[in-house]
C-alpha cells in the first residue's frame, strides 16, 4: 500500500508539472489579438500605386511631400489609384476621417473624379473591395452625383455600380446636396468621414475648390444602416477617362481615427 501511495504521488506530480509547462508554452505561442486603432493618432499612409499596374510608367513620383501620377498617355484612360494604411476597426462612437489635397493639371474633358475609404481585397486589383465611394464632376449615369456603398461579396471595381457580368456591386446612398460642377485645372480639398453609431455608419463628405476653382464641388451626407464593413485599410481614387487629366497630385494626406 505504501509503495502504491508513493507511485501515485509521483505520477500526479509529473502530470501537474507537464500541465503547467504546456499552459505556459501555449500562452507564449498563441497569436496576440489585433490591437484596436489608436483614437486620435494619425495613421501612416503608404504604398501609393496605380492599382494593377505592372510597372511605374505613371508613377507615383514622390517629392516634397507630394505624390504625383503622370506620364505620356496617363489621361487617355481612367486610372484606379490607391494608398494604404494599417487596418483600422471603427468602434462604436468613433469616426474615421480622411483629408487630402488634390491638384489636377491638363484637364481636357468633363469627366469625373471618384474617391473613397475602403477595405481592400487585394493590392493587385480593385475588385471586391468594401467601403464607400463618392463622385465629383459629371457622369451620365449619375447627373446629380452619387455616394456608393459596396455590397459584400461584390466582384466589381471599387468605384462602379456593376461588375463585368452586369451584376450590381453597390447601392447609391444619395445625390450630392449641392449638385455637381465641372472639374477644372487647379487644387481641391477632399474630405470624407465615417462615424459608427448603433451599428450604422454615418457618412459625411465634401470636395471643395481652392483659389479660383468652383466651390463647393460636391457635398454628401448619408447613413448606411447595413454596412458591409466597419474595418478599413485603403484610400481609393479614380480619374475617369473622360476627365483626361495629364497629371494628378496628392498632398497633405491624413487619415485619423477619432472618438472614445
DSSP letters of 213-253?
Answer: S-S--EEEEEEESS-S-SEEEEEEEEE-GGG--SEEEEEEE
Question: 93 CB contacts (<8 Å, ≥6 apart)?
Answer: 195, 196, 197, 259, 260
**Is 73 inside a domain boundary?**
yes
Residue 213 has pLDDT above 90, yes or no: no
Asked, as a colleague might, if the bond just before 60 is cis with ω within 30 of 0, I would say yes
Least confident span in 31-40, 41-50, 51-60: 31-40
**What is the bridge-based pairing of β-strands 231-239 and 95-105?**
unpaired
Q: Report yes or no: 257 and 88 within 8 Å, Cβ to Cβ.
A: yes
C-alpha cell at 86: 494599417
134 and 213 belong to one structural domain: yes
Examine residue 26 and state whether it is found in any structural domain, yes or no: yes
**pLDDT of res. 38:** 61
**Domain presence at residue 39:** no
Q: Domain with 50 in it: what CATH number?
A: 2.60.120.560
Residue 194 lies in a domain: yes
Percent of the chain with pLDDT over 70: 84
Domains identified in the chain, total number:
2
With cut-offs at 50, 70 and 90, classify the pLDDT of residue 111: confident
Domain that holds residue 1: 1-30
Give me the pLDDT at residue 48, please.
Answer: 96
pLDDT digit string (tens) for 137-187? 988 889 999 999 999 999 999 998 999 999 999 999 999 999 888 898 999
For the sheet containing 218-224, what is the strand order? 61-63, 66-70, 247-258, 95-105, 186-197, 200-209, 218-224
Is 62 inside a domain boundary?
yes
Please, what is the average pLDDT of the chain?
Answer: 85
In a domain, 36, yes or no: no
Rounded distance between C-alpha atoms, residue 239 and residue 210, angstroms = 19
In a domain, 41, yes or no: no
List pLDDT tens digits, range 231-241: 999 999 998 86
Residue 55: C-alpha distances to residues 60, 77, 121, 146, 202 (Å)? 10, 16, 20, 32, 37
Q: Is residue 37 part of a domain?
A: no
Same-domain status, 74 and 201: yes
- What does the pLDDT read at residue 15? 43
Q: pLDDT at residue 206 above 60?
A: yes
What is the rounded distance in angstroms from the CA atom of residue 247 to the CA atom of residue 245?
A: 5
Same domain as 57, residue 1 = no
pLDDT digits (tens, 9 = 90+) for 22-36: 434 333 333 333 344
> Do 116 and 240 share a domain, yes or no?
yes
Q: According to the model, what pLDDT value does residue 92 have?
A: 97
CB atoms within 10 A of CB 171: 14
Length of the chain: 260
86 near 231, Cβ under 8 Å? Answer: no
Amino acid at each position: 500500500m505504501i509503495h502504491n501511495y508513493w507511485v501515485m504521488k509521483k505520477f500526479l506530480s509529473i502530470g501537474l508539472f507537464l500541465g503547467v509547462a504546456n499552459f505556459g508554452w501555449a500562452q507564449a505561442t498563441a497569436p496576440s489579438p489585433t490591437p484596436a486603432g489608436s483614437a486620435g493618432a494619425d495613421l501612416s499612409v503608404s504604398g501609393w500605386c496605380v492599382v494593377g499596374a505592372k510597372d511605374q510608367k505613371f508613377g507615383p513620383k514622390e517629392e516634397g511631400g507630394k505624390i504625383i501620377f503622370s506620364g505620356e498617355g496617363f489621361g487617355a484612360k481612367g486610372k484606379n489609384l490607391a494608398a494604404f494604411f494599417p487596418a483600422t476597426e471603427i468602434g462604436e462612437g468613433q469616426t474615421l476621417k480622411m483629408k487630402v489635397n488634390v491638384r489636377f493639371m491638363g484637364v481636357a474633358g468633363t469627366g469625373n473624379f471618384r474617391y473613397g475609404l475602403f477595405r481592400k481585397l487585394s493590392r493587385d486589383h480593385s475588385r471586391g473591395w468594401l467601403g464607400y465611394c463618392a463622385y465629383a464632376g459629371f457622369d451620365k449615369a449619375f447627373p446629380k452625383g452619387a455616394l456608393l456603398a459596396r455590397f459584400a461579396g461584390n466582384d466589381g471595381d471599387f468605384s462602379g455600380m456593376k461588375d463585368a457580368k452586369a451584376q450590381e456591386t453597390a447601392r447609391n446612398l444619395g445625390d450630392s446636396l449641392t449638385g455637381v460642377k465641372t472639374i477644372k485645372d487647379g487644387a481641391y480639398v477632399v474630405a470624407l468621414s465615417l462615424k459608427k453609431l448603433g451599428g450604422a455608419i454615418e457618412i459625411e463628405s465634401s470636395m471643395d475648390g481652392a483659389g479660383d476653382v468652383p466651390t463647393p464641388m460636391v457635398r454628401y451626407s448619408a447613413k448606411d444602416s447595413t454596412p458591409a464593413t466597419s474595418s478599413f485599410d485603403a484610400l481609393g481614387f479614380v480619374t475617369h477617362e473622360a476627365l483626361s487629366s495629364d497629371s494628378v497630385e496628392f498632398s497633405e494626406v491624413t487619415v485619423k481615427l477619432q472618438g472614445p
